[in-house]
Amino acid sequence: MSEASRPQTVSSGLTLAQKLLARASGSERVTPGDIVVVKVDLAMAHDSSGPRRWKPHLEALGARLWDPSRVVIVSDHFVPAVDADSAAILKLTRDFATEQNVGHFFDMEGICHAILPQKGLLRPGILVAGGDSHTPHAGAFGCYAAGFGATDMLGILVTGQTWTIVPETIRVELTGSFGKNVSAKDVMLVLCRELGMDNAFKAIEYGGPGVASMSMDERMVLSNMAAELGGEVGLIGADKVTLDHIRAHGGSVSEADLVWQPDLDAAYERSISIDLSELEPQIALPHSPANSFPIGHALGSPIHQAYIGACVGAKLQDLHMAAEILQGRRTAPGVRLLVAPASSQVTADAAADGTLSILLAAGATLLPSGCGACAGMGAGLLAAGEVCISTTNRNFKGRMGHADAFVYLGSPYTVAASAIAGCVSDPRTLSADMTVPA
């Protein structure tokens, strides 16, 4: 990985973040450090961050949603209900969606960040405000997507606008192509180590031929985990791959949307280059995504559980990666392999193409779609002293259960290989005898 400091010459070019915020604020041009008022195109929240927090304040204000057609609510944290309190929260969420005539309500269909692209709700150029820290996930589609707290989201719901600081941008240039059993998750674990997790009010912009060759499923990993870097947004310019994905999922775009790219002479706070062909599988040790190393650093560390789930680690391509390793094999004795697809559509697609059969034959237990153990909820939580390797985006102390449990982070390849070995394992040492459905 190589790095360049801020250019010394003055540039007239704009980063993608600047272009998007200029459009949202109705300005011809914005500069890092400017405070701007922006119009929100899409406001999203889930059952934990949304109606249960908004409802009493809206009633006290006598207010309603500024534009129900632009509001998305997804039940994904408390699903399916495991106790009376969870059931009450879900009922409140459903009742709110009906009472407020919410334009897009998706109940128990999957994780909110997977649902937005799956339903074709994203489009290059728009501004998405989400009541969840991983809202930058949507930035893979060339839109400005940032997470906001409940108070800010309440203001957005009533007025349709908010304020923000125009961020400086860190450019991540990816070149080359992935080697065997290496993926976008490995890129992000490198960046968590090298950039750290304290990049507040920074935009992370990904580009280069390495990004251009990635599928949308892999690009979403880059944007999603900008949150782990502490970034405000994780942005990728729109290209044909972007438009094709949106159209395939019922969204409306045109060739004019390809304009949402950074200028070639844009000025960046920092520029980092990673050659994908030189990258090897990475592993994050407990208790931070930034506590990451090449896989050899943790080989042989015993595990009790392998978890393939979350918005970042259980998309269809993620399940394909796991199946490539698990094909014709069984999990090690004493290891629980849990699979929680990111959405019910992913489950259906994986069943249709044979991927689920491979996972189940290897000994996997299929869990409902939802945030689940990644958010410390539902099935798959850890007891004191237990060790898990997971495709999730965070491994903070107590994140997946008991505070005295231990969580490693890896790609779906690495998690699957470790489930077979019974310990942290290098997926490159395992090659499936048969190919997985494309």
Express each pLDDT in 19-45 by its tens digit. 999 999 999 999 999 999 999 999 999
Q: Centre a 10 Å sphere on the Cβ of residue 152 and count the other Cβ atoms it contains.
A: 16
Residue 437 lies inside a defined structural domain of this protein: no
pLDDT digits (tens, 9 = 90+) for 334-367: 999 999 999 999 999 999 999 999 999 999 999 9
| R_g over Cα of the chain | 21
pLDDT digits (tens, 9 = 90+) for 231-249: 999 999 999 999 999 999 9
Residue 435 lies inside a defined structural domain of this protein: no
Cβ atoms of 306 and 337 within 8 Å: the answer is yes
Closest CA to 38 of 48, 50, 28, 23: 23
Q: Are residues 145 and 182 in the same domain?
A: yes
Q: Are residues 400 and 272 in the same domain?
A: no
Q: What is the domain extent for residue 80?
A: 1-279
Last residue of a domain, one of 217, 249, 279: 279
CATH (domain of 381): 3.30.499.10
Residue 25 lies inside a defined structural domain of this protein: yes
How far is it, in rounded angstroms, from Cα 357 to Cα 403?
Answer: 34
Going from the C-alpha of 111 to that of each of 56, 77, 137, 395, the distances in angstroms are: 25, 8, 11, 18
Q: Are residues 247 and 324 in the same domain?
A: no
How far is it, in rounded angstroms, from Cα 241 to Cα 223?
Answer: 15
How far is it, in rounded angstroms, from Cα 193 to Cα 309?
Answer: 22
Cβ atoms of 225 and 192 within 8 Å: the answer is yes
Counting Cα atoms < 13 Å in the Cβ hemisphere of 344 gives 11
Last residue of a domain, one of 237, 261, 279: 279
Q: Work out the average pLDDT over 181-209.
A: 97
How far is it, in rounded angstroms, from Cα 247 to Cα 123?
Answer: 10
Residue 438 lies inside a defined structural domain of this protein: no
pLDDT digits (tens, 9 = 90+) for 261-310: 999 999 999 999 999 999 999 999 999 999 999 999 999 999 999 999 99
Q: Are residues 186 and 57 in the same domain?
A: yes
Cβ atoms of 190 and 290 within 8 Å: the answer is no
Cβ atoms of 46 and 78 within 8 Å: the answer is no
Q: Are residues 269 and 294 in the same domain?
A: no
Going from the C-alpha of 64 to that of each of 68, 90, 101, 158, the distances in angstroms are: 9, 20, 10, 6
Residue 368 lies inside a defined structural domain of this protein: yes
Q: Work out the average pLDDT over 391-402.
A: 96
The number of domains in the chain is: 2
Residue 327 lies inside a defined structural domain of this protein: yes
Residue 419 lies inside a defined structural domain of this protein: yes
Q: Are residues 147 and 25 in the same domain?
A: yes
Q: Are residues 240 and 358 in the same domain?
A: no
Q: Are residues 256 and 364 in the same domain?
A: no
Q: Are residues 298 and 330 in the same domain?
A: yes
Q: Work out the average pLDDT over 81-93.
A: 97
In sequence order, which ranges of 47-149 are alpha helices (DSSP H)? 51-61, 84-99, 112-118
